[in-house]
Amino acid sequence: MADGFTIAIDGPAAAGKGTVSKAVAEYFGFAHLDTGLLYRAVGAKVLAGRDALDAARTLVVEDLEDDSLRTPDVAQAASKVAVIAEVRAALLDFQRSFAARSGGAVLDGRDIGTVICPHARVKLFVTASAEIRAQRRFAELSGRGITDSFETVLADVKARDARDMERVEAPLKPADDATIIDTSRLTIDQAVAAAVAAVQAAGGQKA
Ligand code: DC
């Protein structure tokens, strides 16, 4: 019943789209792919001296399970390899096959509703102001013992926004038919409830 029912969730860094995506996938019993991990895995390999395109073409699922993919350095490296058209092309099939799997799928990223799954049944764009996103990321990093200052985290968020939105290839932007969820003044529960309601309004049901 949920076969081929794809939910595309896009948005800038630290807007809460990962949390919302996980919760929506759990609520409906759908599979979830955090597509940022693909770019992070390629970015991490580039930091280790590999060629970006070669790394993208030879990526395996196990590469996505590395805990070190969550560091600020890898995030910036991911955003840099993500501007390369050939890298994006090399990661396309994996994402489209995941989206088409039986039982329903949630994919989150930057270009899911616009490029990867333009025919997704539901498209959400989860966003928040740069300051609020930096505050959340700062709290998260501090909790993990990473001691970057708030100013550094805010500058990182803004640099990544600029690179992700201004690139020529698949820039970050809401699809024309996306529902915008601004989480600046929402709790996690409220953001998840808004996302679940949007999926239900589009006919989404538990798998
Ligand atoms: O969602 P994230 O912060 O893990 O993503 C890391 C970087 O990867 C992001 O700054 C841009 C890139 N990315 C992308 O270009 N397209 C996607 N679908 C997902 C991530």
Q: Are 14 and 137 in contact (CB under 8 A)?
A: yes
- Ligand 1 centroid to Cα of residue 46, in Å, is 15
Per-residue pLDDT at 115 exceeds 50: yes
Q: Does a structural domain hold residue 206?
A: no
Name the residue at shortest CA distance from atom 9 of ligand 1: 79
pLDDT digits (tens, 9 = 90+) for 178-191: 999 999 999 999 99
Q: How far is the CA of 200 from the centre of ligand 1 (A)?
A: 27
**Residue 196, domain member (yes or no):** yes
**67-71 contacts at long range (C-beta below 8 A, 24 or more positions apart):** 68/44, 69/37, 69/40, 69/41, 69/44, 70/40, 70/144, 71/146
pLDDT for 1 equals: 42
Mean pLDDT rounded to a whole number for the chain:
96
The pLDDT tens digits of the residues spanning 8-63 come to 999 999 999 999 999 999 999 999 999 999 999 999 999 999 999 999 999 999 99
**Percentage of the chain exceeding pLDDT 70:** 99
Q: What is the CATH number of the domain that holds 74?
A: 3.40.50.300
Residue 3: band (very low, low, confident or very high) from pLDDT cuts 50, 70, 90: low
Determine the structural domain holding residue 78 and report its residue range.
6-201
Determine, yes or no, domain membership for 207: no
Q: How far is the CA of 192 from the centre of ligand 1 (A)?
A: 21
CA-to-CA dists, residue 63 to 43, 52, 66, 67, 204, angstroms: 11, 14, 6, 10, 31
Q: How many domains does the chain have?
A: 1
pLDDT (0 to 100) of residue 4: 81
Q: pLDDT by residue (tens digit) across 119-140?
A: 999 999 999 999 999 999 999 9
Residue 134, C-beta contacts closer than 8 angstroms, at least 6 positions apart: 14, 150, 153, 154, 156, 157
